[in-house]
Structure 1
Amino acid sequence: MIFEQRLHPAPVPSAIRDEALADPGFGKLFTDHMIVIDYDADQGGWHSASIGPREPIALDPAAAVLHYAQEIFEGMKVYKQADGSLALFRPERNAARLNASARRMAMPDLPEELFLEAVRKLVDIDRDWVPTIEGSSLYLRPFMFASEAFLGVRPARQYKFVVIASPAGAYFKGGAKPVRLWVSRDYVRAAPGGTGAAKTGGNYAASLVPQAEGIARGCDQVVFLDAVERRYVEELGGMNLFFVFADGRVVTPPLSGTILPGVTRDSLITLLREEGYSVSEEPYGIDDWRADATSGALSETFACGTAAVVTPVGTVMGPAGEFTIGGGETGSVTARMRELLLGIQLGTVADRHGWITRL
């Protein structure tokens, strides 16, 4: 597909850009350009690809996304390599997951090669926005939404695929220090047969009230339990969980349709096994978590995701009280996995799996 290109008529001056990149924060600073590709079922599918200035998107008040929430997105990063080049980490997995989300939300597939080309083109034109401070990256947000104007409950026939980019520092203000989690007993993130395995905005909207409850109690994230028994740990509002035992076992909740299949999660399972750990995907109860942490049988817990990478969990709070894992410190396995994964992403550790795509 040919991309029409329109350069930004007034890009951010380099001096102002460089000053902003010295402390980009997360999700508040954006690059000059964006990608837009349109879909129309009556015009044969995807068409009219363009790269142009990042600007507001005109929407009809009856646009389907505003009424029936047909919307999906991805999150991925561009990493500055040791030699100064740029690279993506397993972008084909993001392309495949976008389509898996699209199918669940009754939206059209986007050809994976078109997804990857769109990402490449945006990075190429805004490559000066990749920050260089330690722990930073250029966060990419590809997303798709229903743009057809109609009021009726059926899949839309028109969509837009958009890619924007945001220079990013650490996801948590405290960096990689152990975080505090709040266990939600009154709310669930997803139920069997629902949209939990899709990366769609409604799942995150459902997490906002319990997330606010946790923040009010001094916590960083919320832990969701299964919707049926309210017993088994599933995931955080935006990250997967791993449990490390003193005997060398590692457990992570299974993908049962209610948990997002994280790219970072999948990568860590591979790396942990290569490091000699026995990794199993099995249910793990909240009461077991408390008991094992108290007895010392459980030595570490860490959360993972594209934005936060690998983050240690220090304390877990909930209506039944709180407990601490591993003395509230970062464990050796957590530290090793963070170091290893970041090393691969930054090009300082050998990529034995072909996970890095150079740009």
Structure 2
Amino acid sequence: MEIDILKDFSFTPVEKSKIDTFDFENVQFGAKFTDHMLVCEYKNNAWQQAEIKPYAPIQLDPSARVFHYGQAIFEGMKAYKDVNDEIWLFRPEENFNRFNKSAVRLAMPEIDETIFLDGLKALINIEKEWVRKGLGNSLYIRPFMIATESGVIASPSNEFLFCILLSPAKSYYAGKIKVQIAEYFSRAANGGIGAAKAAGNYSAQFYPTKLAQEAGFNQIIWTDSTHTKLEESGTMNVFFRINDTIYTAPTSDRILDGVTRKSLIDLAKKEGYNIEVRPVLVDEIVEAAENGTLKEIFGAGTAAVINQIEAFSYKDKMYELPNMDNEGSYALDLKDKLTKIQNKLADDSFGWTVKI
């Protein structure tokens, strides 16, 4: 197997690909991975040569600091194959920049653009047969970095491992969901790491989300520390439509600067929708639900692009949203337009798509 690969990378191919045994029609999101992965170590204050090698377990010392002090960050991206069998990334520079912002916040080294972006392109070129064309098909991309230095001293690691994994994905649709507005638990705090894509942010959500699910809800809409402002929905940014205006909270120390979020904001403006980025109060959403002006709530993120919310609970009272699917749903329209841009089925006037 000969690959024309950049001099910056070494390549060790698998002995036999597992692609012929992979069931592309029944894909569980993020559960199975392609033949190869990219790995690169940080030692002696420098990134070493990146290597593309067979997907395999990583061996770490039990005292590796990722296990004890949680220095771990990641990103979520997708690649798409168009009708001409060409492969495209969606705004990869945004993920690269956010990854490094997360690294700085967790006292980790910033990754080189050559390793992250060029390495990703080289890896996908090797795994190009794993990217299936057709609306709804994609290749999910998971770059991550962990602290690997041994020793349980409570200080930042001096050694790290950067990896990129690839996982075939189908269109992610879990149906409309019901959510609970947080009244006690918080996702993040002012001055904290809420704006970083840190592993700890997600583990901290698991327990309150478990409680919400036991109560019959799918997710939580997180609020600020005063529980008066609405911020995120589960692991997604969240949008609210009152009458003909869409609202979403501004980014902050507590809110992740989502790539899908900012893309939807720009797309909504281009399509002529009224959209405002400002703090969204719990009271105004409850009032809008009560007087019938609340039309839609939807989450936005890489996996689902948009996930519609059909009802929410606050102070033990359930509020049902109207079904706008056949009455001009802004959420469905924006999702359709964005996914067509990502799949090269519509003109990309923003210049968001990057060819591999």
**Counterpart Cα distance in 1 of 2:265 and 2:90:** 16
Q: Tell me what 1:343 maps to.
A: 340
- Verify: 1:82 aligned to 2:88, yes or no: no
Q: After the TM superposition, which residues 226-237 of structure 1 pair with which residues of structure 2 at under 5 Å, given as runs? A: 226-227=224-225, 229-237=226-234
1:294, CA displacement in angstroms? 2.4
Normalised by the size of structure 2, how large is the TM-score? 0.94
2:302 to 302, 306, 311: 306
Q: After the TM superposition, which residues 284-323 of structure 1 pair with which residues of structure 2 at under 5 Å, given as runs? A: 284-323=280-319
Residue 73 of structure 1 contacts residue 144 of structure 1 at CA under 8 Å; is this kept in 2? Answer: yes
SS at match of 2:146: strand
What is the root-mean-square deviation in Å for CA atoms of aligned residues?
1.6
- 329-338 or 159-168: bigger deviation: 329-338
1:318, CA displacement in angstroms? 4.1
Residue 138 of structure 1 contacts residue 168 of structure 1 at CA under 8 Å; is this kept in 2? Answer: yes
1:5 to 8, 11, 31: 11
1:28 to 16, 28, 31: 31
**Counterpart Cα distance in 1 of 2:269 and 2:19:** 47
SS at match of 1:149: coil
SS at match of 1:313: strand
Q: After superposition, what is the alpha-carbon deviation per residue over 1:205-259, rounded to whole angstroms, capped at 9, x for unaligned?
A: 01101211222233222211112x111111022100111221x322101112100
- Verify: 1:60 aligned to 2:61, yes or no: yes
For structure 1, the 5+ residue unaligned runs are: none
**Counterpart Cα distance in 2 of 1:334 and 1:275:** 13
Q: Tell me what 1:188 maps to.
A: 186
SS at match of 2:89: strand
Q: Tell me what 1:162 maps to.
A: 163
Residue 313 of structure 1 contacts residue 328 of structure 1 at CA under 8 Å; is this kept in 2? Answer: no
Q: Tell me what 2:197 maps to.
A: 199
**Counterpart Cα distance in 2 of 1:243 and 1:344:** 23
1:27, CA displacement in angstroms? 1.2
SS at match of 2:339: helix
1:310, CA displacement in angstroms? 1.3
**Counterpart Cα distance in 2 of 1:125 and 1:262:** 28
Residue 82 of structure 2 contacts residue 133 of structure 2 at CA under 8 Å; is this kept in 1? Answer: no
SS at match of 1:207: helix
SS at match of 1:21: coil
2:352 to 350, 355, 359: 355
Identity %: 37
- Verify: 1:242 aligned to 2:244, yes or no: no
Residue 35 of structure 1 contacts residue 164 of structure 1 at CA under 8 Å; is this kept in 2? Answer: yes
Normalised by the size of structure 1, how large is the TM-score? 0.93
1:275 to 271, 277, 282: 271
SS at match of 2:101: helix
Residue 214 of structure 1 contacts residue 222 of structure 1 at CA under 8 Å; is this kept in 2? Answer: yes
Q: Tell me what 1:130 maps to.
A: 131
Residue 295 of structure 2 contacts residue 324 of structure 2 at CA under 8 Å; is this kept in 1? Answer: no
Amino acid of the structure 1 residue aligned with 2:199: G
Q: Tell me what 1:251 maps to.
A: 247
SS at match of 1:206: helix
Residue 314 of structure 1 contacts residue 328 of structure 1 at CA under 8 Å; is this kept in 2? Answer: no
Residue 83 of structure 2 contacts residue 134 of structure 2 at CA under 8 Å; is this kept in 1? Answer: no
